[in-house]
Amino acid sequence: MLKSASIVVPVALLVLAGGIAALQLRLPIGPVVLALGLLPLSVMLAAGRRLSAAVPDLVFGCIDTGLLAIPALFGGIVFGIPGAIAGGVIGDSITDGVAGFFEGYIAERLRSRGFEESREAVTTSLGKMSGCLLGSGAVLSLAFLAGISPTLL
């Protein structure tokens, strides 16, 4: 467990630092989050893990947090910070269920076709982290391109 944590924790801290820096610099957060989504994937591959082993986790993350970004963004625009928090919390409970359905379905399909997905700590955590960043980054980038953006208070 410590070995896995020694890989995952630094990645999480780098993602956190990148997000904070983007907010401080007032950069469009969607494209930044999308780019940050490549970091966990890169580390996973550098750690010798197969990308195919993380497909269910990537899909889960993309669907889960990609969809979660919608009610959080909407809640933030309409109701401010409390709306963003409520949208995030309520949206998370719903999207976990939806994304879990797809994650399980894809894992079953991969196994039935002879692909072995991995449930190793590093692969699962970095796969989900990357998927979450890529999914939410895509949604936030589309919102940015459409001119939808909450303002910082």
- Could you tell me if residue 151 is inside a domain? no
pLDDT digits (tens, 9 = 90+) for 76-99: 899 988 999 999 899 888 888 888
- Could you tell me if residue 122 is inside a domain? yes
> Helix 121-145 crosses helix 55-112 at what angle (to 10 degrees)?
120
H or E stretch covering 88: helix 55-112
C-alpha to C-alpha distance for 37 and 71, rounded to whole angstroms? 21
- Could you tell me if residue 38 is inside a domain? yes
Tokens for 138?
């895509």
What pTM, to 2 d.p., does this model score?
Answer: 0.85
- Could you tell me if residue 51 is inside a domain? yes
C-alpha to C-alpha distance for 100 and 89, rounded to whole angstroms? 16
Tokens for 118?
């991995």
Name the amino acid, one letter, at 128.
K
CB atoms within 10 A of CB 69: 25
- The pLDDT of residue 126 is above 90: yes
Average pLDDT, the chain: 89
C-alpha to C-alpha distance for 59 and 54, rounded to whole angstroms? 9
Domain that holds residue 57: 2-145
